[in-house]
A and B are shown apart, each in its own frame.
Chain A
């Protein structure tokens, strides 16, 4: 196969796009809001465009905004982004079985574009990774189709949000929608009691340690929360710990 970016000719490409289509309204709303929030945070237009076009990870973008605006050092911003993105590390362990036969550049290309939804769709479409050439080509076409539509449906409203935000006065406080988006993700992650505890410990630590310079309070809070949960995991369970 010629090294094209997307295997558009393969029928599975369209199947992948069709599987992604129901996600469009949600992606569009979330992209639009992220675009508005980036501009409202006070970053300059080149900075906002660089963030939208390069980072391509909504939750990491929104989490980085207050840190960038507060002038936190790069390593704190990057460490926070890494932690917010850790769910992808878990996905990548699974995706390895689907992509490892490809050359490195192709793996990185697929990995960069594979967001939560396209990962879930691929594993639903192909619970078992293909082991023959035809099957592999089909699963790559499917993932490519889902990824391509996902990228367009995220980037278009995101750029529209950036354009529209400039027409809206700052004092309306629309940037708060970015914080609310993070609250939503936070609620979706808090599905076990130890994770609820991790969030509570981290939140309290971040507020208590706010006076630390350079927004290190975020990094300290993550460390304290993870350490606390790992310690509690080791205690003998009083009962089945699930929420």
Chain B
């Protein structure tokens, strides 16, 4: 029973997910975990504002322009057009992340399913 339930489940992955939950607590509570007043060094505080955009961009771009570890050799890839359309929609639709998903998928799905890109 337990075996069937956990089929395909990796205990390391579960432990990592538990760790990610701890990261959520750590980041959301960062400055009020300890009751001691304390401050970050100034350069770390400044670096904070660049790290999130850097982390997301580093995760996203390889998922859009690479496959099996290599840059896609063709521009005929539905992901490139979907992501570009999604980004354009964000700014055209007055900064709506919902528009990014809807328009991006509306471009991606026909290219991916219809043309096989």
What residues make up the interface of A, taking CB atoms closer than 8 Å to B? 26, 29-30, 33, 43-47, 50-51, 54-57, 59-61, 63-64, 66-68, 74, 77-78, 80-93, 95-96, 99-100, 104, 107-108, 111-112, 114, 171-174, 176-177, 179-190, 194-195, 198-207, 210-211, 217-218, 221-222, 225-226, 229-230, 233
- CB neighbours of A81 from chain B (8 A): 20, 23-24
| Complex Cα gap A66–B58 (Å) | 11
19 pairs from A and B in contact (CB 8 Å cutoff): A30-B98, A50-B14, A54-B20, A74-B16, A77-B20, A84-B55, A86-B55, A88-B30, A91-B28, A95-B31, A96-B31, A111-B29, A114-B28, A180-B86, A184-B96, A184-B98, A185-B97, A190-B53, A226-B47
From B30, B49, B66, contact of A207 by CB (8 A): B66
**A184 pairs with B48, CB closer than 8 A:** no
User: Would you list the 7 A-B pairs with minimal beta carbon distance, nearest first?
Assistant: A184-B97, A111-B29, A54-B21, A184-B100, A83-B55, A221-B58, A202-B54
| Complex Cα gap A221–B50 (Å) | 12
**B52 pairs with A68, CB closer than 8 A:** no
**Inter-chain residue pair count (beta carbon < 8 A):** 275
Please name 16 further chain A to chain B contacts, defined as beta carbons within 8 Å, in addition to the given A90-B48, A111-B25, sorted by A numbering. A46-B14, A47-B10, A50-B14, A54-B18, A84-B52, A87-B52, A91-B28, A100-B35, A111-B29, A184-B98, A187-B87, A189-B53, A199-B56, A207-B62, A217-B62, A230-B47
**B23 pairs with A82, CB closer than 8 A:** yes
| Complex Cα gap A183–B83 (Å) | 7
B67 CB to nearest chain A CB (Å)? 11
**A63 pairs with B56, CB closer than 8 A:** yes
- Specify the main secondary structure of chain A where it touches its partner: helix
Of residues A68, A92, A183, which shows the largest number of chain B Cβ atoms within 10 Å of its Cβ?
A183
| Complex Cα gap A54–B18 (Å) | 7
From A43, A181, A199, A207, contact of B13 by CB (8 A): A43
- With A56-B21, A63-B56, A210-B66 already in contact, the answer to whether A173 and B109 are too (CB < 8 A) is yes
